[in-house]
Amino acid sequence: MDIQRLISDRARAIDASGIRRIFDLGARLTNPINLSIGQPDFPVPEPIKRAAIRAIETDCNGYTPTQGVAPLLAKVTHWLKTDLGWDAQPAGGAGEGQPSALITTGTSGALSLAFAALLNPGNEAIIPDPYFVAYPHLCALAGARAVLCDTGDDLRMTAARVEPLITERTKLVLLNSPSNPCGVVSTPEECRDLLELCRAKGVLLISDEIYDEFTYPEFALDRAAGDASLARCPSPARLPGACDDVLLIRGFGKTYACTGWRLGYCAGPSALIAQMAKIQQYTFVCAPSALQHGAAECFGVDMSDQVHEYQRRRDYVVGRLAPLTDVPTPGGAFYAFPKVPARLGLSDAEFVERCVDRNVLIIPGSVFSTRTDRVRISYATSMDRLEEGLDVICELMS
């Protein structure tokens, strides 16, 4: 059979070659200094592991309600109240004007459902450039077009940069703060201006906050006494009435090092969450059952030591790179996004090749962007390995 003839245009429209090339490069190296990784290097905290194991052993292994298991939803809605002042209810249970919450299969699940629920063929979604690799492809899968917002040399997605891109085809603007790959954290003013713009234009603001707990103190909001969060990341979701106009997407994978558990959640206008829950029912069905019970323990676990350790690594990386090149100080997440110094006369891919020749794996910026002048360095790796990697990178940048 000619399988190629049967493949959809939708599938063909996805070009995964950029990121695949990096995986291929990594596979060729023996014990590389891998600074390409997008997940934390610490283990899942014990109480969270225990709760998941307990759930398996007590036979919590079947389907769950599509909106999520009650104990996790209770923790999530409580947290939305504490952190944002939102009175969210589990999907299907919200009253008139109340926001809803839905447990999803990773933040990717929430993004896919949101795009499926919002985008028609021909619609446009405005995303930052540089962007998390999946964004344009998830738009394409929904038949829509990702419109890239050039975030300039400071890598900031501002209302002034977004406004000229909004057309009658625009359905949503996607903000990612702290950002992958740049580590940029939006200021409260930037969040406010973006939300005001979206409201004025009648488009939804989606806030992908998967790295929210990795917001370093100089870029975070002050915490209230007794606040259980590690850091309060500036967010459009904190603005008055935001739950009517913002779809908030957060995850568990990065904060608690359980990326493979495929767990996230979203909250926002109940009419939208209802559509997303309906689509989840017939696609993902529900998030992994036992692991949802594990995640219900997350909110009681203190991760501040891990985040402080990442802050220490960030300071180390920026301290090494700043004398050699332009590197915005990451306000959050665990990536640095320095420029390849122009004096080297190398593209990002050429610079990465030189690093790979020295057994160091980093990612060319062009995997995340139309620009070719930066590279992404993940510092989610041990300090020893980081030092070895930075020795090579700094030598090549000198």
Q: Is 136 in the site for ligand PMP (CB under 6 A)?
A: no
Task: Give the whole-angstrom CA distance, residue 242 versus residue 235.
Answer: 10
Shortest distance, position 6 Cβ to ligand PMP, whole Å: 28
Shortest distance, position 316 Cβ to ligand PMP, whole Å: 22
Shortest distance, position 369 Cβ to ligand PMP, whole Å: 14
Shortest distance, position 3 Cβ to ligand PMP, whole Å: 28
- For residue 255, the SS3 value is coil
Determine the interface stretch with ligand PMP among 27-35, 104-112, 351-359, 382-390 (rule: CB under 6 A): 104-112
- Please name every residue paired with 269 in a beta bridge, in sequence order, or none if there are none: 99
Determine the interface stretch with ligand PMP among 66-74, 105-113, 280-288, 322-330 (rule: CB under 6 A): 105-113
Residue 79: which of 254, 216, 215, 213 has the closest Cα? 213
Residue number with CB closer to ligand PMP (145 or 376): 376
In 3-state terms, the chain is what percent helix, strand and coil (to 5)?
A: 45, 15, 40
Shortest distance, position 259 Cβ to ligand PMP, whole Å: 5
Over its C-alpha atoms, the chain yields an Rg (Å, rounded) of: 21
Q: What single string gives the DSSP state of each residue in 174-224? A: EEESS-TTT-----HHHHHHHHHHHHHHT-EEEEE-TTTT-B-GGGSBPPP
DSSP letter at 354?
Answer: H
Instruction: Tell which positions 246-265 bind ligand PMP, by CB under 6 A.
Output: 251, 253, 259, 264
Residue number with CB closer to ligand PMP (89 or 107): 107
Peptide bond into 181 cis (omega under 30): yes
- Tell me the per-residue interface mask from 137 to 176 with ligand PMP, x by CB under 6 A, - otherwise: ---------------------------------------x
- Tell me the per-residue interface mask from 37 to 76 with ligand PMP, x by CB under 6 A, - otherwise: -x--------------------------------------
Shortest distance, position 395 Cβ to ligand PMP, whole Å: 29
Instruction: Tell which positions 179-198 bind ligand PMP, by CB under 6 A.
Output: 180
Which two structure tokens, joined as six digits, stand for 66?
A: 């599509």
- Please name every residue paired with 339 in a beta bridge, in sequence order, or none if there are none: 374
- Tell me the per-residue interface mask from 195 to 224 with ligand PMP, x by CB under 6 A, - otherwise: -------------x-x--------------
* DSSP element (H, E) containing 375: strand 375-378
Determine the interface stretch with ligand PMP among 102-110, 144-152, 157-165, 295-303 (rule: CB under 6 A): 102-110
Question: Could you tell me if 388 and 33 are in contact, meaning their C-beta atoms sit under 8 angstroms apart?
Answer: yes
> What is the β-pairing status of strands 264-269 and 246-251?
antiparallel
Task: Give the whole-angstrom CA distance, residue 396 versus residue 398.
Answer: 6
b/e for 111-121, b at 16 or more Cβ within 10 A? bbbbbbbbbee
Shortest distance, position 164 Cβ to ligand PMP, whole Å: 24
Shortest distance, position 95 Cβ to ligand PMP, whole Å: 29
Residue number with CB closer to ligand PMP (259 or 289): 259
Which residue ranges make up the site for ligand PMP (CB under 6 A)? 38, 106-108, 132, 176, 180, 208, 210, 251, 253, 259, 264
